[in-house]
A and B are shown apart, each in its own frame.
Chain A
Amino acid sequence: MRRTRFLFQAALVAAAAGAGLAYSRGWLLGSVEKYCPFGGLETAYAFVTNQRFTCAAGELNLALFVALLGLTFVARKAFCAWVCPVGTVSEWLGLLGERLFRAGRKEASGAPLRALEPPRSADRVLRWLRLPVLAIVLYFTYKTGELVFRGYDPYYVLFSFHGHDVRGWSYLLVAVLLAAAVAVPMAWCRYLCPLGLALWPFSAVGRLRLRRDAETCTSCRACDRACPHAILVSTAGEVRSGECTLCLACADACPAGETLTLRLKALKP
């Protein structure tokens, strides 16, 4: 599954980069922001209240966002691990960081800490940084009717090839975010990504869940070490965290065969 996911991710990063380059060279009329589901969320309020779109956002953004909500309700945050090019870049940089900063540190419970992973208590607090980010982005986007945060958006800055509103400081900011992703696995996704937070409630009730068979589990914690979102898989009967991206890194890392399996949880009447 690791190879399948890698191919998915690589194809989508290449597609985003190709689309961005083609647009910047004038070979394509639509920019990469056309395919961003977060644009759908940014324009959703304006669309519902005034039947209009914000700035360059349009039907495709909104349709992709609605489809993303559907996907998240079924397959948790699979979008983050299988589709999002920023998630992919963050993950690849995290793997680099793993090699650079492998410290073998452990937290109080004995669970291993990856790279410069913050302690679990700090991690829980830091994840709430996404809330003001989401609130500020949505508020000012609606207030101004413009996609005013393009210059801060790593997806746009990375893949638009110096698109509209991208300035020198945009690259500086993204460089800092990428450096953070090397030091702390998935730093942007875990602590700042507004789309990640918007999806979280839908992911928390997502139907497709990883279940751990306690009978066959050897408690080696390879799953905990593999999880890029620092979810404690080894102690869960069923992974309920809304942060689970179904990247299946835990299942790939598990040495005990079918210990971690996916189950579709039925809706209770």
Chain B
Amino acid sequence: MAAVPALVVLFALAGLGSARFFAVPTLTRDFAAGGGSALRTSSFRVDGLKCRDTAEKAFEHLDGLQGLGRAEAFASRNEIRLTYDPSVTGPQAIREALEGPEFDAATGEIWFGRFRVIEIDGKPLPVGTGSASSGAP
């Protein structure tokens, strides 16, 4: 009879473990990549990135930013992987763009704080170092 709970645990661990081995983006977008120097890829863990809709919103935040190549959003991991030209932009500018204000054309309202970057390339950002407090414009 003990086989039943043992099997349940075994298959649960198999399910939880195997999810680590594949990653499929929720949304992908190719921005107009800057040529020139070699492109670099960084990953951003973003609080507020929950689903396809929020991934689209996050990409809208990045729309005006120069030097971006491919962007991949993984909603289930709250992660955005971005390829960019390091001679044009960098992780801090990307973070500021993600955390920046957002204009809602439907209501005419400006939203703040939809997204918060909490990790860049696996390194947690200290609390209270948001783009607003970093002195960014």
List residues of A whose CB falls within 8 A of some B CB. Answer: 1, 4-5, 8, 26, 29-31, 34, 37, 47, 51-68, 70-71, 74-75, 78-79, 82-83, 145-147, 164, 208, 246, 248, 251, 262, 264
Seed contacts A1-B4, A58-B74, A262-B1; 12 additional CB < 8 Å A-B pairs: A5-B5, A8-B8, A30-B76, A37-B15, A47-B24, A52-B25, A58-B76, A62-B19, A63-B15, A74-B7, A75-B11, A208-B4
Chain B residues whose CB sits within 8 angstroms of the CB of A54 once the complex forms: 52
Complex Cα distance A145/B26, Å?
11
**Given contact pairs A1-B1, A55-B52, A56-B50, A67 touches B8 in the complex (Cβ within 8 A):** no
Complex Cα distance A53/B52, Å?
8
Asked whether, in the complex, the Cβ of A53 is within 8 Å of the Cβ of B75, the reply is: yes
Asked whether, in the complex, the Cβ of A58 is within 8 Å of the Cβ of B15, the reply is: no
Chain B CB within 10 A, most for which of A58, A64, A248: A58
Asked whether, in the complex, the Cβ of B3 is within 8 Å of the Cβ of A58, the reply is: no
Asked whether, in the complex, the Cβ of B26 is within 8 Å of the Cβ of A78, the reply is: no
Chain A residues whose CB sits within 8 angstroms of the CB of B26 once the complex forms: 52-53, 58
Chain B residues whose CB sits within 8 angstroms of the CB of A58 once the complex forms: 19, 24, 26, 74-77
Q: Which of B4, B50, B76 contacts A53 (CB 8 A)?
A: B76
6 intermolecular pairs with C-beta atoms under 8 Å apart: A31-B50, A55-B53, A59-B19, A59-B24, A68-B15, A83-B12
Asked whether, in the complex, the Cβ of A60 is within 8 Å of the Cβ of B19, the reply is: yes
**Given contact pairs A8-B5, A75-B4, A51 touches B24 in the complex (Cβ within 8 A):** yes
Q: Does B112 reach chain A (CB closer than 8 Å)?
A: no
Minimal Cβ-Cβ distance residue in A for B45: A29
Asked whether, in the complex, the Cβ of A60 is within 8 Å of the Cβ of B76, the reply is: yes
Asked whether, in the complex, the Cβ of A56 is within 8 Å of the Cβ of B1, the reply is: no
Chain A CB within 10 A, most for which of B1, B3, B15, B75: B15
B57: shortest Cβ distance to chain A, in Å? 14
Q: Which of B8, B24, B76 contacts A34 (CB 8 A)?
A: B76
Q: Does B22 reach chain A (CB closer than 8 Å)?
A: yes
Q: Which of B12, B27, B78 contacts A67 (CB 8 A)?
A: B12
Chain A residues whose CB sits within 8 angstroms of the CB of B15 once the complex forms: 37, 60, 63-68
**Given contact pairs A29-B47, A70-B14, A78-B7, A52 touches B76 in the complex (Cβ within 8 A):** no
Asked whether, in the complex, the Cβ of B16 is within 8 Å of the Cβ of A59, the reply is: no
Minimal Cβ-Cβ distance residue in A for B47: A29
Chain B residues whose CB sits within 8 angstroms of the CB of A146 once the complex forms: 52
Complex Cα distance A58/B22, Å?
10
Minimal Cβ-Cβ distance residue in B for A37: B15
Chain B residues whose CB sits within 8 angstroms of the CB of A251 once the complex forms: 1
Chain A residues whose CB sits within 8 angstroms of the CB of B75 once the complex forms: 53, 55-56, 58
Q: Does B105 reach chain A (CB closer than 8 Å)?
A: no
Complex Cα distance A47/B24, Å?
9
